[in-house]
Structure 1
Amino acid sequence: MKTKYILAISGNDIFSGGGLYADLATYTTHHLHGFVAVTCLTAMTDKGFEVFATDSSVFSQQLKSLKDVPFSGIKLGLLPNVEIAELALAFVKEHADIPIVLDPVLVCKENHDVEVSVLRDELLKFLPYATIITPNLVEAELLSQKSIQTLEDMKAVAKELHELGAKNVVIKGGNRFSQTVAVDVFYDGQDFHVLENPVLNHNNIGAGCTFASSIASQLLLGHPVLEAVQFSKNFVYQAILHSDQYGVKQYYDKT
């Protein structure tokens, strides 16, 4: 079978559980050749977990270096500033005919005071080009400027994000509404699908990155969007089940 190439536009996680590490591990699990354009570095400092954006000229050169690679899919993760977002958007526009998955990271989980909400307007520009977006609850609230307190709120915000341009939306509810069931909502402009899995008391670093990268991989392999989301929900469940102290252990689907 001809090798397929997939790009992650994402950041470095110093603990190697999320970001580009989760992306590449997921691509490898799907037997795809993964590339990365690195948007930022991270480190623990005396201020806590910090994000250091890649110099925009360096990031631009990364994308130019990849211009001749025949990508079949792109997944976008942490875009740390407006300059990086604008360069990434220009690249996405040049590849609008392939699956594009946007994980709109607006909050660093390790430090909820670090909000990059200034990027909201920039991220909204990606929506018409994204095959699917995968915000968590906080990110969905920031994008929509609406509060989410119930499952019905999740559905209403998913619909609003679709109306803002996203072709498909999956909002990751996690365990906000239940300590036993992780609930996500998928919306394709016509139907809502509520996806549930048991909450696991395991390390879940990189779960969101893995979820988005798995969806991108499944789309690249030709699966319908809902099927890709359902598969990826279970894929992440298994990854968390097999996680260790720092991140996700390699997990291969034997089916």
Structure 2
Amino acid sequence: MSDHYVLAISGNDIFSGGGLHADLATYTVNKQHGFLAVTCLTAMTDKGFEVFATDSRVFAYQLSSLKDVPFSAIKLGLLPNVDLAEQALTFVKAHTGIPVVLDPVLVCKETHDVEVSALRDELIKFFPYVTIITPNLVEAELLAQTAIRTIDDMKQAAQKLYDLGAAHVVIKGGNRLDKSKAIDLYYDGNDFELFEFPVLEENNVGAGCTFASSITSNLVKGGSVKEAVGQAKDFVFKAIKKSNDYGVVQYEKD
């Protein structure tokens, strides 16, 4: 197994700010070789920002092509339908003993055109097989089936997600609870820890994907899950500071 081989199972962002672009850029910054299985393409059409799921057979061929690569970690992003999610879960089950990060996307910022209820049930099946899940506030609400309006609500949601089988949970709160702070909550079944940074005015497109892929890269390097989360939080803060009109992926480490 090589500590340089890291897989992203994620979707394309036509504007290259998030999704697979953020994942691969993060791996590269961390001097890791990023592999990719593409779950969807996107485009801006007269209907707005649209997501087009990868053909099921094509996705199966992608995963089959990668089955013998000695990955040291896997990060999962947008899984646009149940079929692709089921295939990804089978792949994850066949790659035990390595860090797996699930960034569960149930509602894209641009569109709600996803099978939310069915996908929720499918994504929960991943929980026992992944190292950490990294939902944002809205996704945490949907997965935990609870409203989040306060820090205490975040803690209750994290507890519910833990009880559903997630060994480690970090809820990306962003600035939705406090307009002046970007607040994330980490929980490992025993202790809660808040990670807070000031909200920046720069473009933050791709920040959530970068956060999850940074956790993945950090887990490959060793250390605890909580340490990986803290390092990723710092990484994303610096990435947003250097973002451009399309997102954060051009960030380079100091």
Q: Aligning the two structures, in what range does the TM-score lie when normalised by the shorter sequence? A: over 0.9
Once residues 225 and 44 of structure 2 are traced to their aligned partners in structure 1, the CA distance between those partners, rounded to angstroms, is: 37
Once residues 89 and 224 of structure 2 are traced to their aligned partners in structure 1, the CA distance between those partners, rounded to angstroms, is: 24
Q: How many residues align?
A: 252
Q: Per-residue deviation at 1:249? A: 4.6
- Please say if residues 107 and 116 of structure 1, whose CA atoms lie closer than 8 Å, have aligned partners that are also in contact: no
- Please say if residues 180 and 199 of structure 1, whose CA atoms lie closer than 8 Å, have aligned partners that are also in contact: yes
Distance 1:16 1:177, change over 3 A: same
Letter matched to residue 42 of structure 2? T
The equivalent of 2:69 in structure 1 is: 69
Alpha carbon RMSD of aligned pairs, Å?
A: 1.0
The equivalent of 1:227 in structure 2 is: 227
Once residues 123 and 73 of structure 2 are traced to their aligned partners in structure 1, the CA distance between those partners, rounded to angstroms, is: 18
Q: Per-residue deviation at 1:202? A: 1.1
CA deviation vs aligned residue, 1:110-151 (integer Å, no higher than 9, x gap): 23x334313000000000011000000100011011111110
- Please say if residues 243 and 251 of structure 2, whose CA atoms lie closer than 8 Å, have aligned partners that are also in contact: no
Letter matched to residue 70 of structure 2? P
- State the TM-score, normalizing by the size of structure 2: 0.97
Once residues 239 and 153 of structure 2 are traced to their aligned partners in structure 1, the CA distance between those partners, rounded to angstroms, is: 28
Deviant stretches of 4+, over 6 Å: none
Once residues 92 and 106 of structure 1 are traced to their aligned partners in structure 2, the CA distance between those partners, rounded to angstroms, is: 19
Per the alignment, in what secondary structure is the counterpart of residue 36 of structure 2? strand
Once residues 222 and 241 of structure 1 are traced to their aligned partners in structure 2, the CA distance between those partners, rounded to angstroms, is: 27
The equivalent of 2:237 in structure 1 is: 237
- Please say if residues 195 and 230 of structure 1, whose CA atoms lie closer than 8 Å, have aligned partners that are also in contact: yes
Q: Per-residue deviation at 1:97? A: 1.1
- Determine if the alignment matches structure 1 residue 185 to structure 2 residue 178: no
Show structure 2 runs of 5+ residues with no match.
none
The equivalent of 1:89 in structure 2 is: 89
Per the alignment, in what secondary structure is the counterpart of residue 240 of structure 1? helix
Once residues 141 and 249 of structure 1 are traced to their aligned partners in structure 2, the CA distance between those partners, rounded to angstroms, is: 27
- Please say if residues 41 and 51 of structure 2, whose CA atoms lie closer than 8 Å, have aligned partners that are also in contact: yes
Per the alignment, in what secondary structure is the counterpart of residue 95 of structure 1? coil
Once residues 211 and 116 of structure 1 are traced to their aligned partners in structure 2, the CA distance between those partners, rounded to angstroms, is: 24
Once residues 247 and 195 of structure 1 are traced to their aligned partners in structure 2, the CA distance between those partners, rounded to angstroms, is: 22
The equivalent of 2:168 in structure 1 is: 168
Once residues 245 and 172 of structure 2 are traced to their aligned partners in structure 1, the CA distance between those partners, rounded to angstroms, is: 23
Once residues 48 and 251 of structure 1 are traced to their aligned partners in structure 2, the CA distance between those partners, rounded to angstroms, is: 28
The equivalent of 1:127 in structure 2 is: 127
Q: Per-residue deviation at 1:70? A: 0.2
Letter matched to residue 241 of structure 2? L
- Determine if the alignment matches structure 1 residue 145 to structure 2 residue 145: yes
- State the TM-score, normalizing by the size of structure 1: 0.97
- Please say if residues 5 and 70 of structure 2, whose CA atoms lie closer than 8 Å, have aligned partners that are also in contact: yes
The equivalent of 1:105 in structure 2 is: 105
- Determine if the alignment matches structure 1 residue 26 to structure 2 residue 26: yes
Once residues 143 and 56 of structure 1 are traced to their aligned partners in structure 2, the CA distance between those partners, rounded to angstroms, is: 25
Distance 1:249 1:86, change over 3 A: closer
Per the alignment, in what secondary structure is the counterpart of residue 15 of structure 1? coil
Q: Per-residue deviation at 1:4? A: 1.7
- Please say if residues 173 and 184 of structure 1, whose CA atoms lie closer than 8 Å, have aligned partners that are also in contact: yes
Once residues 174 and 125 of structure 2 are traced to their aligned partners in structure 1, the CA distance between those partners, rounded to angstroms, is: 26
- Please say if residues 242 and 249 of structure 1, whose CA atoms lie closer than 8 Å, have aligned partners that are also in contact: no
Once residues 20 and 226 of structure 2 are traced to their aligned partners in structure 1, the CA distance between those partners, rounded to angstroms, is: 24
CA deviation vs aligned residue, 1:50-69 (integer Å, no higher than 9, x gap): 10000010000000000110
Once residues 103 and 3 of structure 1 are traced to their aligned partners in structure 2, the CA distance between those partners, rounded to angstroms, is: 21
The equivalent of 2:78 in structure 1 is: 78
Per the alignment, in what secondary structure is the counterpart of residue 184 of structure 1? strand
The equivalent of 2:113 in structure 1 is: 114
- 1:29-40 paired onto structure 2 within 5 Å: 29-40=29-40
- Determine if the alignment matches structure 1 residue 247 to structure 2 residue 247: yes
- 1:202-213 paired onto structure 2 within 5 Å: 202-213=202-213
Per the alignment, in what secondary structure is the counterpart of residue 101 of structure 1? strand
